[in-house]
Structure 1
Amino acid sequence: MIEFVKGTVRYISPEFVVVENGGIGYQIVTPNPFVYQKYMNQQVTVYTYQYVREDLIALYGFETREEKALFIKLLNVTGIGPKGGLAILASGDPGQVVEAIENEDEKFLVKFPGVGKKTARQIILDLKGKLVDIIPAAVSTDLFNYEEVEEKKQSEDALSEAIEALKVLGYSEREINKVIPSLKGVSLSTDQYVKMALQKLLK
């Protein structure tokens, strides 16, 4: 089992990042790859989970051990696969997810792609009271106090990348189109656009 990969961020796509270590580029699927945009060509540590299935071998990565632990627990819930687990963690606030599970807040959980009422109930039944070992990492939820991106072109490119990332997570074009107007009035990085969109989608 690969506990973590420490190396240099070489490539970022809407679905994964490539981290180079010892001349080898590791393709790591993450909830929001653009979180690593600010570390491009810099060294990072990504906490990883190797997922093996008959038709798939993939390396999933997270910023913290707490996110990784929550992902693994979600995989043990009937009806939740890797894609569903990533979509839930992409909100950037594991504490919010844990709180929803502990408070049996089905309305919050069904807002995630691929999570219906039956799956939300299953998440609560399987995980409530079993997440005490997960202490969520401190994640900023202030989505409106970011530095402005200097170039308008950079902002437009970042928004386009964020839309692609939301599609990868499973949100439909109809859902995405509802929040796009509220995103166009601000200049943010791709990561910030994704976080802002997710906050609005989860309201």
Structure 2
Amino acid sequence: MISFVRGPVASLSLSHAVIDVNGVGMLVIATPKTLGRLHLGEETSLVTAMVVREDSMTLYGFAEEREREIFDILTSVSGIGPRLALAILSVLEPESIAAGVANGDGKAFTKVPGVGPKVAGRIVLELKGKLHPLSAPQTGAPAAAAPMEWKDQVVAAMTSLGWNERDANKAIEATLATEPELEEGGNVPAVLRATLRWLGQDSTRQKSGLR
């Protein structure tokens, strides 16, 4: 098993990075938050989880060991695959996930597209007693992303959750039109939450192809 990769970033996309490990390009799928910390040509180190299936071997990368721990625990829940586990980590912070489980707060997980009440309840039920928060979830405002990067990170989050780039950009622009103050701060988690909320509030958007 590959537990970490280290090397210069050879390429970046909205959903993954390729790390040059001694001349071998290792494709690593990661959350927008993790990818947003990487820069082409710069040395980086990511802890990884390898998912092996009959027809594939896939590496998932994380900036912190805690994220990989949460990922591994989430994928132990019946019906939660690696893609959905990564989607949960794209929307919720690791300690928010742990707090949701510890407090029996299934609603916290329904913020993630693809996680309905039944799946959220299963997460809480199966992980109760197995996952504990290390500290209280952060309540302060996260640092704003660089002006040229924050929108790309939101788009990356949306595509990792199943939307295509065109629809993600359309939803983000519509959200910013209704909440223009979000654009000034470039707060990636806040814009992502607002966009998901905008999508969820109007069921007619499903008919226009946004879901």
Q: Please, what TM-score do these two structures have when normalized by structure 1?
A: 0.78
The 5-angstrom pairing of residues 146-185 of structure 1 reads: 146=144, 149=147, 154=148, 159-160=151-152, 162-170=154-162, 173=167, 176-177=171-172, 179-181=175-177, 182=179, 185=183
- List gaps (5 residues or longer) in structure 1: none
Q: Which amino acid aligns with 2:61?
A: G
Question: Shift in Å at residue 45 of structure 1?
Answer: 1.2
- Using a 3 Å threshold, how does the CA distance of structure 1 residues 139 and 108 change in structure 2: closer, same or farther? closer
State whether residues 77 and 122 of structure 2, in contact with CA within 8 Å, keep that contact through their aligned partners in structure 1.
Answer: yes
Q: Secondary structure at the match of 1:67?
A: helix
- Using a 3 Å threshold, how does the CA distance of structure 1 residues 71 and 12 change in structure 2: closer, same or farther? same
- Using a 3 Å threshold, how does the CA distance of structure 1 residues 187 and 104 change in structure 2: closer, same or farther? closer
State whether residues 108 and 202 of structure 1, in contact with CA within 8 Å, keep that contact through their aligned partners in structure 2.
Answer: no
How big is each residue's C-alpha offset from its partner over 1:67-100, in whole Å with a ceiling of 9 and x where there is no partner? 0011011111011111110011113611111111
State whether residues 157 and 192 of structure 2, in contact with CA within 8 Å, keep that contact through their aligned partners in structure 1.
Answer: no
Structure ranking higher on relative contact order (CA contacts 8 Å, 6+ apart)? 1
Would you say 1:34 and 2:35 are equivalent positions?
Answer: yes
State whether residues 166 and 176 of structure 1, in contact with CA within 8 Å, keep that contact through their aligned partners in structure 2.
Answer: no
Q: Secondary structure at the match of 2:111?
A: coil
Question: Shift in Å at residue 161 of structure 1?
Answer: 5.7
Identity of aligned pairs, percent? 29
Structure 1, 26-35 or 118-127: larger mean CA deviation: 26-35
Q: 2:194 aligns with which of 175, 181, 200?
A: 200
Q: Which amino acid aligns with 1:36?
A: R
- List gaps (5 residues or longer) in structure 2: 198-211
Question: Shift in Å at residue 58 of structure 1?
Answer: 0.5
Q: Which amino acid aligns with 2:99?
A: E
Alignment size in residue pairs: 190
What is the aligned partner in structure 2 of residue 120 from structure 1? 120
How big is each residue's C-alpha offset from its partner over 1:152-193, in whole Å with a ceiling of 9 and x where there is no partner? xx36xx5256324412223584894563433663264xxx53
What is the aligned partner in structure 2 of residue 20 from structure 1? 20
Question: Shift in Å at residue 140 of structure 1?
Answer: 8.7
Q: Please, what TM-score do these two structures have when normalized by structure 2?
A: 0.76
How much is the aligned-residue C-alpha RMSD, in angstroms? 3.1
What is the aligned partner in structure 1 of residue 11 from structure 2? 11
Structure 1, 112-121 or 163-172: larger mean CA deviation: 163-172
How big is each residue's C-alpha offset from its partner over 1:25-57, in whole Å with a ceiling of 9 and x where there is no partner? 1100002253234x4322111000110112332
| In structure 2, C-alpha distance between the alignment counterparts of 1:161 and 1:11, rounded to whole Å | 16
